[in-house]
Structure 1
Amino acid sequence: MAELDLRFQILETASYDGLLLWKVRDYTRRKADALAGRTLSLYSQPFYTHRYGYKMCSRVYLNGDGMGKNSHMSLFFVIMKGEFDNLLPWPFRQKVTMQLLDQDSGQTNLTDSFQPDPTSSSFKKPSSDMNVASGCPLFVAHTVLESPKYIKDDTLILKITVDLFNLQHP
């Protein structure tokens, strides 16, 4: 029953327009877990470019990864193995924009974008559940992130947008 409930929650929150709005709740506890080495990263629910499109998710390291460890929140984009991968063009080439939303005024969202490197294994057709994540180890410094502007009610909101321009549908 718990597995069915989880599958239903994932289906209920899935988006099919290349947009992920991810609320990371319990920031204080989750960052403490990261500092203690219990849970280094969190994965978002999957989202898609369209109903039969690319399956993707986001991965966040609240206490940083690589160059960002202990000083930054690191944010990554992940291509996942999808049901219709055989019908899609590879490598994945759509522009990806990652944002930390300003929950105060909405005026100062922190944004980083990238165009996928077609030679990177991160954007090839997945042969396992997930490809290697690609993104920003230095996405935002803890000193900037940990303000009422970005964390409200112990929650931060991340937005991942995949540009659907020139995207081929099966």
Structure 2
Amino acid sequence: MALALLPPQEVETAFYNIRASENNKVKQELRQLFLYFENQWLTNTPVEMWNVHGCEQRTNNTCEVDAQSERQTSIYSPPFYSSPTGYKMRVRLYLNGYGNARRTHMSLFFVLMQSEYDVILKFPFNYKVTFCLYDQTPAQRHIIDSFRPDIKSNSFQRPRSEMNIASGIPKFCPLSVIQQEDNVYVRDDTMFIKIRVNFDDMPKTLLPYALCLNPGLPLHVRQEMVEKEAKRRKKAG
């Protein structure tokens, strides 16, 4: 009744304001829904792509620190989950190597982290972990290496503190490969490292194919492509 008594122009303005307010509310709800599903996507894949920035500066700084104090510095990836209620993990990178590999190789290690879901998960952690250093050219000569957890090691038991002791591949890649000028693994001072936890027991022969697929494709599309490739190879064999 109150609106009916307003001049037509004010009624139109009031209606427009109400509609604009509702549109903003809908947009906000859609944005929140998008962020929710985006987060579910990120936590529901056992594959994590890590872009490491400032490689040249980090390498130089690490060399200076090493020369002065013999301390071995490292970089941690952001934490990620194997699924929304799965294992929490991260990667530890020594750009100038660790232990016996120091100053000769780049070292990559896998770290199990404590999470709120550990009580319902299976331990010791016993899934093969694969690291892939991306060749950033169409040649796709990625450097790929894997390891299986030592289930007797404390590194793969249920975490009792924030992080377990890192375990992995000390001699992942020779420093001569990533430190040479115009190498294909460090471009614009950035390298890309993919981490894949092999929950599906993918055959070793299929790993290079799977890791060379376009990372921009949705996970389910890449999984379908791997399955088709596996069937093709089986028929051909």
TM range (shorter): 0.7 to 0.9
Counterpart of 1:137 in structure 2 is: 170
- Residues 71 and 141 in structure 1, CA contact (< 8 A), matched pair in contact too: yes
Identical aligned residues as a percent: 41
Inter-partner Cα distance in structure 2 for 1:60 and 1:88: 26
Inter-partner Cα distance in structure 2 for 1:23 and 1:107: 17
1:89-100 alignment, distance < 5 Å: 89-100=122-133
Counterpart of 2:112 in structure 1 is: 79
- 1:106 Cα deviation from its structure 2 partner: 4.5
Where structure 2 has 5 or more consecutive residues not aligned to the other structure, the ranges are 1-37, 67-71, 202-237
Q: TM-score, normalised by structure 2?
A: 0.62
- Residues 147 and 169 in structure 2, CA contact (< 8 A), matched pair in contact too: no
Task: Pick the aligned partner of 1:102 from 131, 135, 142.
Answer: 135
Counterpart of 2:54 in structure 1 is: 26
Q: Report SS of the residue matched to 1:36.
A: helix
Q: Is residue 152 of structure 1 aligned with residue 225 of structure 2?
A: no
Counterpart of 2:89 in structure 1 is: 56
**C-alpha RMSD of the superposition:** 2.0
Where structure 1 has 5 or more consecutive residues not aligned to the other structure, the ranges are 1-10
Q: TM-score, normalised by structure 1?
A: 0.85
Larger Rg: 2
Amino acid at match of 2:193: L
Counterpart of 2:78 in structure 1 is: 45
Structure 2 CA distance for partners of 1:86 and 1:117, relative to 1, 3 Å: same
Whichever structure has more helix as a proportion of its residues is: 2
Higher relative contact order (CA 8 A, sep 6+): 1
Structure 2 CA distance for partners of 1:107 and 1:137, relative to 1, 3 Å: same
Q: List per-residue Cα deviations over 1:124-150 (Å, max 9, x = no partner).
A: 000111111111111111111234210
Whichever structure has more strand as a proportion of its residues is: 1
Counterpart of 2:99 in structure 1 is: 66
- Residues 19 and 47 in structure 1, CA contact (< 8 A), matched pair in contact too: no
